[in-house]
Structure 1
Amino acid sequence: MDSWLRPIQLEGELVKLVPLQKSQKVDLAFAASDGNLWELWYTSVPSPKTIDSYLDMALSEQEKGNALPFAIINKKTNTIVGSTRYLNVDSKNKRVEIGATWYAKKAQRTGINTECKYLLLKYAFENLNCIAVELRTHYHNFPSRNAILRLGAKQDGILRNHRVDDFGNLRDTVVFSILNSEWKTVKISLEHKMKKRYLS
């Protein structure tokens, strides 16, 4: 794997991000079954039937140095509630994308997503010295688009007919980014949001 990005564990008040492993298979499938997340046509969430291929692909991309996948652990319950990863790793140009993120229904709208993104962004800008971090989502995934904007990212554009999904549908992908010059302000904003949630 690219020495620029090695398996790490990131920890905050609400969550721990730990390297994704095959031994987490049952817990990941159980988390995804909370809300049957794989039924959302505009996302790629593993089902009990696809969890093996999901893990194989994620770990294969990690081995090639193209990605670093995590399991998301809710510290309060010590259970896996989702997954996220760094992907499209470009060590030469010091860029990464944060994506392939999903959460069990019970973990949504709890502050967990904000803290996960904060931990990943902080590590990317302050440890990897990234010049930009990308976030992408399906054009029709409006909850995700709004969540990305709330983080402080700006929309770069829309890649039309970017991909063909598992059902043969053409996907338009919306691309957002945060630049290293913007991180200081984004960080203060995220810390303010998290502090309010911790105190409430």
Structure 2
Amino acid sequence: MSLELPLQPVTLTGDLVRLEPLSLEHVEGLREASADGDLADRWYTGVAPPEQMAEQVEQRLARQRAGTMLPFTAVRPRDGQVLGVTTIYDISPDVPRVSIGYTWNRESAHGTGTNPESKLLLMTHAFEQLGVRCVRFETSWSNQQSRQAIERLGARLDGVLRADRLEKTGDLRDTCVYSVLAHEWPSVRSGLQHRLRRRGARA
């Protein structure tokens, strides 16, 4: 089985977050979300400053048309507030395999359960609708918050790519590569569902 490109935009809905196909209509909400915590100022993230947000959205939409990315805007269902973005990218149709990343969320949403639910929605789509054999996650060695979040998902560390790319500061980045394989997905899914149920019970 191989993937047909480009992947078709789809809305994925959970209790805490709704992942909508990224569009230029989200730009103003994304500008506001990036200002929550001044995320563009963090050297280890790829968050665009407000004046460059429209350009970044255009770039991701161009990659979607080219079949190399499927970008989403994360929205809080209860009030429609834009939380951030996430994407399916690095699409290898023959394996088939995808990566999930280029993710950021407004600081006030951190720790609220929206990120693990987003990952649950995306991996469910990837494994159960697209039929992939592998989902990858990548992050900077220096981004401890991201590494811990990926590990809490149940993904396994495949390795570290030394001097893999340049950070926006010009510094060399070591990249941690994690993955979940299709046969591991049922266990990972159960773990994520359990985490979200416990969070709901405490709310």
d(CA) in 2 for partners of 1:6 and 1:92?
17
For residue 167 of structure 1, report the CA deviation from its aligned partner. 2.3
For residues 26-41 of structure 1, what are the structure 2 equivalents within 5 Å?
A: 26-41=28-43
For residue 94 of structure 1, report the CA deviation from its aligned partner. 1.1
For residues 44-63 of structure 1, what are the structure 2 equivalents within 5 Å?
A: 44-63=46-65
For residues 142-157 of structure 1, what are the structure 2 equivalents within 5 Å?
A: 142-157=144-159
57, 65, 80: which one pairs with 2:82? 80
Tell me the secondary structure at the aligned position of residue 163 of structure 1.
strand
Number of positions where the alignment pairs a residue of Structure 1 with one of Structure 2: 200
179, 183, 186: which one pairs with 1:184? 186
Unaligned segments of structure 1, at least 5 residues = none
Decide whether the 8 Å contact of 1:81 with 1:107 is kept in 2.
Answer: yes
Superposition TM-score, scaled by structure 2 size: 0.95
For residues 40-119 of structure 1, what are the structure 2 equivalents within 5 Å?
A: 40-119=42-121
Identity of aligned residues (%): 38
For residue 166 of structure 1, report the CA deviation from its aligned partner. 2.4
Superposition TM-score, scaled by structure 1 size: 0.97
Q: Give the aligned partner of residue 167 of structure 1.
A: 169
21, 24, 28: which one pairs with 2:23? 21
**Cα deviations across residues 50-98 of structure 1 (Å, max 9, x unaligned)?**
2122112111111110000000001122111110000101111110000
Unaligned segments of structure 2, at least 5 residues = none
d(CA) in 2 for partners of 1:106 and 1:76?
15
Decide whether the 8 Å contact of 2:90 with 2:98 is kept in 1.
Answer: yes
Over the aligned positions, Cα root-mean-square deviation in angstroms equals 1.3
For residue 4 of structure 1, report the CA deviation from its aligned partner. 6.2
